[in-house]
C-alpha cells in the first residue's frame, strides 16, 4: 500500500517528470545567413552569383528588411519603363559577372538588434583589395534577421545598395 509520504513525494516530483518541451528553433543568425548565400553563390564554377537574393519580391522579402524592400519598390517604380533600375549589378558578388572561388565570413559587430557582417571574396580574376570585401548591415525584423544594406567598393570607390536606391529617387 502507498503511504501518505510516498504520495506527497510523488505529487511534488510529478511536475519535474514532465517531458522537456523543446525551445523553438533560434532564427538563423546573420553569419549563417551570409554563409548560406555565399555557399550557394560559389557552387559549381562560382559564376551563379547572388542575384537570387534580389531576383523578385519573394526573394527580397525573404532576405531583406521591410524598409529596404519598400525603398527598392519605390526606386523601381521611379525608374522609367525600359530603363535599368538603380542596382544594375550583383551586389552579393560585387560584379557584373559573378566569380566566387572561395569566401570568408566574419562578424565585425553583433548587437541584440543589429549586426555587421563582412565577406571577403576570392575569385579567379584579380580585384583590388577593397573590391573583395562586401559588408552586410543586418537588423532584427520581428524575430528574424534581415539584410538592411549591402556595401562594398568598385575600383576602390565605395557603394551602398541603400544609398544607390535613395539617390535614384532624387533624379
pLDDT tens digits, 72-115: 999 999 988 888 889 999 999 999 889 899 999 999 999 999 99
Q: Residue 7 above 50 pLDDT?
A: no
- pLDDT mean over 41-60: 89
pLDDT of the residue at 22: 38
Q: Which of 122, 126, 119, 125 is nearest to 104 (CA)?
A: 119
What is the tally of structural domains in the chain? 1
Higher pLDDT, 135 or 5: 135
Q: Which three cell numbers stand for residue 20?
A: 522537456
Q: What is the CATH number of the domain that holds 89?
A: 3.10.450.50
3 part of a folded domain:
no
4 part of a folded domain:
no
110 part of a folded domain:
yes
Is residue 6 classed as helix, strand or coil in its secondary structure?
A: helix
49 part of a folded domain:
yes
Helix, strand, coil percent content, the chain, rounded in steps of 5: 35, 25, 40
Cβ burial of 9 (10 Å; 0-12, 13-18, 19+) is exposed
146 part of a folded domain:
yes
76 part of a folded domain:
yes
Is residue 154 classed as helix, strand or coil in its secondary structure?
A: strand
- Residue pLDDT, tens place only, 138-165: 999 989 999 999 999 999 999 999 999 9
Residue 143 lies in domain: 30-168
Higher pLDDT, 2 or 93: 93
8 part of a folded domain:
no
- The dihedrals phi and psi of 19, each to the nearest 5 degrees, come to -60, 145
Q: Which three cell numbers stand for residue 4?
A: 501518505
Under the banding of pLDDT at 50, 70 and 90, the label for residue 5 is low
Pairing of strands 133-141, 114-122: antiparallel
**CA pair distance 31, 110, nearest whole angstrom:** 10
133 part of a folded domain:
yes
Q: Residue 56 carries which DSSP code? A: S
Amino acid at each position: 500500500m502507498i503511504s501518505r509520504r510516498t504520495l506527497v513525494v510523488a505529487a511534488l516530483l510529478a511536475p519535474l517528470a514532465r517531458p522537456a518541451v523543446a525551445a523553438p528553433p533560434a532564427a538563423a543568425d546573420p553569419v549563417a545567413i551570409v554563409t548560406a548565400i555565399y555557399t550557394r553563390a560559389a557552387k559549381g564554377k562560382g559564376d551563379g552569383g547572388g542575384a537570387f537574393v534580389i531576383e523578385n519580391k519573394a526573394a527580397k522579402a525573404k532576405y531583406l528588411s521591410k524598409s529596404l524592400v519598400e525603398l527598392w519598390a519605390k526606386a523601381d517604380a521611379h525608374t522609367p519603363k525600359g530603363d535599368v533600375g538603380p542596382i544594375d549589378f550583383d551586389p552579393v558578388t560585387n560584379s557584373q559577372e559573378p566569380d566566387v572561388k572561395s569566401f570568408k565570413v566574419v562578424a565585425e559587430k553583433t548587437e541584440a538588434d543589429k549586426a555587421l557582417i563582412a565577406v571577403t571574396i576570392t575569385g579567379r580574376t584579380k580585384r583590388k583589395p577593397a573590391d573583395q570585401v562586401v559588408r552586410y548591415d543586418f537588423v532584427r525584423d520581428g524575430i528574424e534577421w534581415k539584410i538592411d544594406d549591402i556595401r562594398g567598393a568598385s575600383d576602390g570607390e565605395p557603394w551602398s545598395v541603400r544609398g544607390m536606391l535613395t539617390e535614384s529617387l532624387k533624379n
